Amino acid sequence: MSASHCVRHVVFAVAPDLVLLDACGPVEAFWRAELAMRAGRAAALPVSAELANSPHSADPCAYRVTLASVAGGVLSTFAGMPVVTERLDALDTAAIDTLIVPGVPIDDSTVLQPELVAWIAAAAPRARRVASVCTGAFYLAAAGLLDGRRATTHWRNAAQLARRFARVSVDPEPIFVRDERDGRVVWTSAGVTAGIDLALALIEEDCGHAVAMHAARRLVVFMKRPGGQSQFSEALAAQSAAGGAFDALHGWMAANLHAELSVERLAEEARMSPRTFARRYVEAIGRTPARTVAAMRVEAEAHALAQSRLPVKRIAADCGFGTEQNLRRAFERRYGVLPLDYRARFSAA
């Protein structure tokens, strides 16, 4: 098969109670990349202009996606929406470029499907690369594919993965991990929507930055999401703990980041005394009001850097940092890079 007609076969090996977005998010990303490549070839879009000068230009991608399960046919999903799958054993002799294992709900009593574990272990050596989304890492680990490797999974399941598979070096922080050793590449990703981040990284590796960026824009997501899982796990845990008690205040804060958001001002908006407000806020959210303000400002700054060409000085004022120096210090503390370096890497503007 010539390079101009190269087809990359992506197989999603799925178990009953599949977390639907773990599969359909990456599937959509691969399809958007395929559409970008078709459009670029047909109309000489800017996508193809970059590809012409990239190391990937001799190997344009066309993706063919297969969703397969042990029994094939209609598969139940965790969301209740059935999906139609092929039988895994029908792929025993098929060429596989990328093998992806999406997640299922996992707890201490979950029994992994042994037939799926066995098929993954047998099929992985003939795939160019193997990946998991969310708790799909449990299946890769059970198949022995993560032994001695660094891997990640959903932050809620990271400790459980480490306990259950002691030979896996579990890192709960990254959105995804690419581990290459002994000539084999294994990718693992965090929970649910992180599968889209993973797919975009695979697309970029295959087809170049322009195609992956095109797919990201179509999906209205970051090409490379800033930060790690902690920014999401801490925020979600805080919101859950609050039970909505400060939802209205948080909305007001997000709309007024440029203002002076002292405890006194926030207490006034919450209609409490400063002392009562500070105490109840920490009880409900698990952190001080000042830490929430700082986190919201840095998040707004990251969004402005990626989505606009506004000067850093203007962003500092809009986000409530006051000076560029304050902005740079807060941003580097959170993301480990300077604002302009971040813009150069993640800008979609």
Cα distance from N-terminal residue to C-terminal residue, the chain: 38
Task: Give buried/exposed letters for 297-318 (b at 16+ CB in 10 A, else e).
Answer: bbbbbbebbbeeeeebeebbbb
What is the DSSP-derived secondary structure letter of residue 189? E
Question: 36 exposed, middle or buried (CB, 10 Å; 0-12, 13-18, 19+)?
Answer: buried
Question: Nearest to residue 64, comparing CAs of 8, 120, 105, 107?
Answer: 8
61 belongs to the catalytic site: no
Structure tokens at 23: 């599969």
Question: Nearest to residue 40, comparing CAs of 160, 212, 174?
Answer: 212
Is residue 249 a contact partner of residue 260, using CB atoms and an 8 Å limit? no
What is the DSSP-derived secondary structure letter of residue 85? E
Question: 188 exposed, middle or buried (CB, 10 Å; 0-12, 13-18, 19+)?
Answer: buried
Catalytic residue among 24, 134, 207, 319: 134
Structure tokens at 129: 């690369």
Strands 63-69 and 96-101: unpaired
Name the CA radius of gyration of the chain, rounded.
23
Overall size of the chain counted in residues: 349
Which DSSP string do the residues of 208-263 spell out, in sequence order? -HHHHHHHHHHHTS-SS-SS-THHHHHHHHHHHHHTTTTHHHHHHHHHTTTS---H
Classified as helix, coil or strand, 97 is: strand
Please give the angle made by the CA atoms of 320, 323 and 326, to the nearest 5 degrees. Answer: 85
Beta bridge partners of 11: 66, 99
- Residues labelled catalytic: 134
